[in-house]
Amino acid sequence: MTDLLEKTSNEKLSEYGDNVKVFVAPGLVDSIVTLKGRYQNFIGGKWVAPVKGEYMEDVSPVNGKVFCEVARSTKEDVELALDAAHRARKAWGETSLPDRAKVLSKIADVMEANLTMLAVAESWENGKPVRETLAADLPLAIDHFRYFGGATRSLEGRTTEIDKDTVAFHFHEPLGVVGQIIPFNFPLLMAAWKIAPALAAGNCTVVKPASPTPWSILKFAELLEDIVPDGVINIVTGPGAEIGKALASSPRIAKVGFTGETTTGRLIMQYAAENLIPSTVELGGKSPNIFFADVMAADDEFLDKAVEGLVLYAFNKGEVCTCPSRALIHESIYDAFMDRCLKRIRMIVQGNPLDTTTMIGPQVSIQQLQKIESYVEIGKQEGAECLIGGQSAILEGDLAGGYYFQPTVLKGENKMRVFQEEIFGPVLAVTTFKDEAQALEIANDTLYGLGAGVWTRDGNLAYRMGRGIQAGRVWTNCYHLYPAGAAFGGYKISGIGRETHQMMLEHYSQTKNLLVSYSTKPLGFF
């Protein structure tokens, strides 16, 4: 974590003193999170029942139990949301930049005032430890709205004096109504990543949360009353095959933004092609995390940071597009460095994510848990050596039905499927390299190119590696930092477009050129 995050983390956690704090599950009497039995869609600033009256169950991965129902929407509900967004489009698109920025700022303020409540809701929904939601997910989401509020104020058109009497003016204009599909791994933060720039550029949005995690975004929406004009943000829950498709293929959207897997990414771009609209897609990765020999040149704070840098594969139980899931370690330090890392991994506390001491919670769904199990099995068949973990974790009591997997490390080689495919679980594939050239070769021997990490005390080496790795972001002597202001996006099949930076405003704007002649003289052709 950065100093900023560390500070936030310590401040947040210190509110509870040194004692263990276990938040009460949403819906129970003493919980800070209120829970209704059933949630409707958020359309036009109102809670609207699904047209066909169907609902689906939302399961908490913490205990595998249903905790509420959300709308099982159909394409009719998507149309209602698009109606509301189109009604709001003109007024929001013409809202002044100071007022647009004020709305984004107010969203940040209300999230901040409800930070702990939203963090607990997010942890219950997704299974991620509350120490992460308190210190990372929510502070980052809040800052994201503030950042794009500021970015709105910096929106500037360019003018070009073509000649003395001819001027080209360039204006940013909103696209109109956009469709945005949110993944399950950071339901609130990914929603912020998408909603903030769309609104900042003057668009209205229809958001489809991931099927396993629809509820925490609805808790966020409950806070928006009187802050966001009706119809600017609309949220429709339901199955991807029905409403994801209805939204992405609708001729009534002007752009689609998606985070998820490659096949749906292609499908999104296919639908966009059919409507001749732009799309941005972020499709995951298999990020290398490279440790050069000099990380062990001293036994100091930096070495400690590098060890944590490897163990960050378990952050958010590995359900991160940029999970550093391939560790490449110089052969001369492998034994000593890995020994330290395994000691740190053994100290990972797994359990109830609502406990502030828990470091790893359950995977988001039974589907994900089964997938991880099958990958570890493939890895063993391929000859990978399991250094730690390797199976589901069976917890006791209230957590018995949850989807827990032990932090796992597999040693093998880069051609194995566990090195090539995103497992989306707390499973690290580790291998060694002999020199810089081989490190770069292994790092780039992947279909993906979203993130990478480089750890060394040699700045020149770090620079060469950083420029050589074909990935959209190379964390250098750090990992898993996601500040607004640093562009995030993929090379190769990891996607198209960049998020978390004001350049995102370009992805959500149309360029209007006024080419103006201040001359009274005719051209003279006719």
Partner 1 sequence: MTGPIETARVGETPAALEAIAQLVSDGGPVMFFQSGGCCDGSLPMCFREGEFIIGDYDVLLGTVGGFPFYIDHRQYEAWKHTRLMLDVAEGEPEGFSLSAGPNKHFITRSEVCAPNPAD
What number of other Cβ atoms are within 10 A of residue 467's Cβ? Answer: 8
Task: Please tell me whether residue 472 binds partner 1 under the rule CB under 8 A.
Answer: no
Cβ distance to partner 1 smaller for residue 231 or 426: 426
Task: Please tell me whether residue 483 binds partner 1 under the rule CB under 8 A.
Answer: no
Of 404, 405, 424, 455, the residue at the interface with partner 1 (CB under 8 A) is 424
d(CA 321, CA 324): 9
CB-based contact 372:427 (threshold 8 Å) = yes
Site for partner 1 in 223-262 (CB under 8 A): 239-241, 244-245, 259-262
* Nearest residue to 174 via CA among 516, 519, 521, 508: 508
CB-based contact 287:453 (threshold 8 Å) = yes
Q: Which residues pair with 448 in a beta bridge?
A: 492
Task: Please tell me whether residue 264 binds partner 1 under the rule CB under 8 A.
Answer: yes
CB of 373 to partner 1, least distance (A): 11
Sequence letter at residue 391:
Q
Q: Helix/strand/coil (H, E, C) string of 165-206? A: CEEEEEEEEECCEEEEECCCCCHHHHHHHHHHHHHHCCCEEE
Active site (catalytic) residues: 282, 321
Retrieve residue 332's tokens.
């001369």
Of 2, 10, 154, 374, the residue at the interface with partner 1 (CB under 8 A) is 374
Task: Please tell me whether residue 412 binds partner 1 under the rule CB under 8 A.
Answer: no
Site for partner 1 in 35-94 (CB under 8 A): 56
The position carrying tokens 């993944």 is 183
CB of 421 to partner 1, least distance (A): 6
Task: Please tell me whether residue 275 binds partner 1 under the rule CB under 8 A.
Answer: no
d(CA 202, CA 259): 21
CB of 54 to partner 1, least distance (A): 13
CB of 246 to partner 1, least distance (A): 10
* Nearest residue to 54 via CA among 36, 68, 66, 70: 70
Of 270, 332, 511, 517, the residue at the interface with partner 1 (CB under 8 A) is 270
448: three-class secondary structure by DSSP: strand
Cβ distance to partner 1 smaller for residue 436 or 445: 445
Cβ distance to partner 1 smaller for residue 57 or 304: 57
CB of 230 to partner 1, least distance (A): 29
CB of 270 to partner 1, least distance (A): 5
Of 375, 475, 479, 508, the residue at the interface with partner 1 (CB under 8 A) is 375
Of 68, 204, 283, 410, the residue at the interface with partner 1 (CB under 8 A) is 283
CB-based contact 483:189 (threshold 8 Å) = no
Sequence letter at residue 465:
M
Retrieve residue 520's tokens.
């009274």
Retrieve residue 362's tokens.
């359950």
d(CA 302, CA 133): 26
Task: Please tell me whether residue 185 binds partner 1 under the rule CB under 8 A.
Answer: yes
Using the contact rule CB under 8 A, the part of the chain among 47-55, 154-162, 421-429, 500-508 near partner 1 is: 421-429
Site for partner 1 in 199-228 (CB under 8 A): 210-212
What is the binding site for partner 1 (CB under 8 A)? 56, 183-185, 210-212, 239-241, 244-245, 259-267, 270, 282-285, 319, 321, 365-368, 370-371, 374-375, 378, 381-382, 415, 417, 420-424, 447-448, 493-494
